[in-house]
Amino acid sequence: MTILWVDDEIHHLKSHIRFLEKRGFRVLTASGGMEALDILRDNRVDLVLVDQMMVGMDGLETIARMRAHYHAIPVVMVTQSEEEELMDTAISGQVDDFLTKPVNPSQILLVVKKLLMGRRLKTRKAVREMVNSAARLMEMKSQGMDLDDWKDFYGSWVERDVAFDGDVADEMRSLDRQHFLEMEHDFSKFIEENYPKWIAMGTEEQPLMSHNLLEKVVVPLVRRSSELVLMVIDCMRFDQWLTMSSILEKWFYVENSFMLAVLPSATPYSRNSIFSGLLPRDIWRFHRRLWNEQIGDPGLNRHEGFFLGEALKRLGCERNVRPDYVKVSNRREGEMLLHSLSKYLRDGFLAIVVNYIDHLTHGRSELDLIRDLAPDVASFRKLAETWFRSSFLRELFHTLAARGTTVVVTSDHGSVCTARETRIHGRGVSGSIRFRFGVTVSADPKAVVITDDPAAWGLPNNRPGKKYLFARSDYFMMFPGMSREEMIKFRNTFQHGGTSMEEMLVPCVVMKPKAVK
């Protein structure tokens, strides 16, 4: 790595230069701003040290001329002054760090390592963590894992993936992803074995799931909070939430946890379960005129506001109010919500559904432009983050924090990037490529979880011989005879409905506003 040191008394710095050279750095020197610009024109330089006080062209002017042509090179200003005004001026001129004279070699090395080697050291740490993680996985698998273990593993894996995004070589990331896919398959087996047991339990013994979120989290908070907002961000994965929560931490105390989305991990089932406080089986039993699988997906989410009101009454919510419910699908609707927020919160409770990430997910499957912009998980995450930073939702969170409103944020389900197809057979088959239901339906049990007792899985059992299929890991289900073009269309798309961690382990976050100072 090459360092350019610019100082009109450069001959006094020979010992510092030798110190850097002994540690493997190549050091070029310039005794003035013009000479430095000439060197930059002819040499590849990784970092520039610039003295503030120089005869002729001073440090600030040198940096200004450098930045006209070189925007990415880290620049460190060396100065005798600690005046705040100078620091503000220099920072506005894109200085990356400061050293105050007299400088010692260790100070210089620390700044150089931070600016030049921080990314490399971060990458080494990521690789070490991946290797250690693989060893821990083998140990955990040999001992058996409960649901909390799965949540801890998934949360740690996602946090690391987000933190080291882009810093790990492709081959290491591919190896880590392979370990994750193995764990995904084991997770689907864990769900297959335990899900019916959870459904059979009483609410207190059940893990936090879509159908008991109101009873376990929302109603207790309604009783303790002057204002509460329940926000369901449709199709939001945990990694996408992490990019948002880092922005919100300055306004809220953010308490992250996980909720298990009910199966199928698809909006007509999991989101209705959130608002009704019921399993899909019981929504069908008690509200058959409003919710029936034969209605089709668009019609199954028309009555969430009604379901929410009925659920709060049933759960004995002391606050005798009619809960407001708003669904936001675009920026105009979001801005209307912002302008009318006080009206919606007049009784202290509001439920909001935000559909943008769901639109983005499905748009990526259908539009080549979005797929080109976000070809993989990491870039898709960045696309969602970019939207959030300039969206009405960020402003809404800020406004809620200023009002002192407690916010519960969750999702009905996440999504998984599909990669492998598997064939299914049967009569009267409906659903999507990650879940199917029908009569005499069958598939490869290595790729699909097969349920032949829907009621035991909390699902409608309205036809003899009815079965549900849920895709494992990154599989998607196709009928025999489907064209190759049709299969390619669904490969490497984000889908939901199956038993992967990315679909079922969704964020459940309680955010309490920080005091405004």
Give all domains of the chain, ordered by start, each with its CATH number: 2-103 (3.40.50.2300), 125-192 (no CATH), 208-414+504-513 (3.40.720), 419-491 (no CATH)
* CA–CA separation, 142 and 186 (whole Å): 12
pLDDT at 320: 58
- How many CB atoms lie under 10 A from the CB of residue 254? 17
* CA–CA separation, 7 and 13 (whole Å): 9
Residues above pLDDT 70, as percent of the chain: 88
Contact between 301 and 273 (Cβ < 8 Å) = no
* CA–CA separation, 392 and 131 (whole Å): 41
pLDDT at 81: 67
Give me the mean pLDDT over the 180-202 stretch. Answer: 93
pTM: 0.82
Distances (CA, A) of 292 to 37, 289, 441, 504: 72, 7, 20, 23
Tell me: pLDDT of 36 over 80: yes
Pairing of strands 349-354, 448-451: unpaired
Residue 60, C-beta contacts closer than 8 angstroms, at least 6 positions apart: 52, 89, 90, 93
Q: Using pLDDT thresholds of 50, 70 and 90, give the confidence band for residue 475.
A: very high
Give me the mean pLDDT over the 303-328 stretch. Answer: 84
Q: What is the DSSP string of 43-55?
A: S--SEEEEESS-S
* CA–CA separation, 381 and 161 (whole Å): 11
Give me the mean pLDDT over the 494-504 stretch. Answer: 95
For the chain, helix (H) and strand (E) counts, in that order, are 22, 18
Q: Which two tokens stand for residue 509?
A: 């976050």
* CA–CA separation, 171 and 29 (whole Å): 39
More confident residue, 85 or 303: 303
* CA–CA separation, 75 and 239 (whole Å): 33
3-class DSSP assignment, residue 402: helix
Pairing of strands 2-6, 475-478: unpaired
More confident residue, 30 or 428: 30
Distances (CA, A) of 12 to 93, 253, 308, 324: 27, 51, 75, 72
Most confident of 123-132, 166-175, 375-384: 375-384
* CA–CA separation, 84 and 477 (whole Å): 63
Encode pLDDT of 320-342 as tens digits: 556 789 999 999 999 999 999 99
pLDDT at 114: 84
pLDDT at 133: 67
pLDDT at 470: 97
Encode pLDDT of 371-420 as tens digits: 788 888 888 899 999 999 999 999 999 999 999 999 999 999 999 999 99
End-to-end CA distance of the chain: give it in Å, rounded.
Answer: 45
Give me the mean pLDDT over the 476-486 stretch. Answer: 83
- Please provide the average confidence, as pLDDT, over all residues in the chain: 87
Residue whose tokens read 């797929």 = 371
Residue 278, C-beta contacts closer than 8 angstroms, at least 6 positions apart: 211, 272, 286, 307, 311
Pairing of strands 228-233, 75-79: unpaired
Strand order from edge to edge, sheet including 420-431: 448-451, 466-471, 435-443, 420-431, 475-478
Encode pLDDT of 264-286 as tens digits: 999 999 999 999 999 999 999 99
Give the start-end residues of each E strand in 208-332: 228-233, 252-260, 324-328
Tell me: pLDDT of 351 over 60: yes
* CA–CA separation, 303 and 293 (whole Å): 14
Tell me: pLDDT of 361 over 60: yes
pLDDT at 335: 94
404 torsion bin: left (phi>0), alpha (psi -120 to 50), beta (else): left
Q: Using pLDDT thresholds of 50, 70 and 90, give the confidence band for residue 437.
A: very high
276 torsion bin: left (phi>0), alpha (psi -120 to 50), beta (else): alpha
Pairing of strands 505-513, 252-260: antiparallel
Residue 135, C-beta contacts closer than 8 angstroms, at least 6 positions apart: none
Contact between 100 and 121 (Cβ < 8 Å) = no
pLDDT at 83: 66
